[in-house]
């Protein structure tokens, strides 16, 4: 949990933009059925990209 909080603290615009985008699409009733699994995959992908960028060269 601390790592997730640190990620939000380090990249607030990423967390806010991703969260609002997902919330807007999930607010549409039938779109939520299709989009929720895609949102989970996208969140894991974003987290992996952020971790990859944070690795020292």
Q: How far apart are CA 53 and CA 45, in angstroms?
A: 12
Q: Which residues of 25-34 are buried (b: 16+ CB within 10 A; e: fewer)?
A: eeeeeeeeee
Would you place residue 2 in the very low, low, confident or very high pLDDT band (cuts 50, 70, 90)?
Answer: confident
Residue 55 DSSP one-character state = S
CB 31 within 8 Å of CB 25:
yes
Q: How far apart are CA 34 and CA 4, in angstroms?
A: 25
Q: How far apart are CA 53 and CA 16, in angstroms?
A: 19
pLDDT (tens digit, 9 = 90+) per residue, 5-54? 888 888 899 989 999 999 999 999 898 899 999 999 999 998 888 888 77
The answer, as to whether pTM is greater than 0.85, is no
The domain locations on the chain are 2-54
């Amino acid at each position: 949990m601390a790592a997730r909080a640190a990620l939000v603290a380090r990249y607030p615009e990423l967390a806010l933009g991703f969260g609002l985008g997902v919330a807007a699409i999930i607010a549409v009733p039938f779109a939520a059925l299709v989009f929720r699994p895609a949102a989970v995959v996208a969140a894991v992908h974003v987290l992996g990209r952020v971790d990859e960028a944070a690795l020292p060269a």
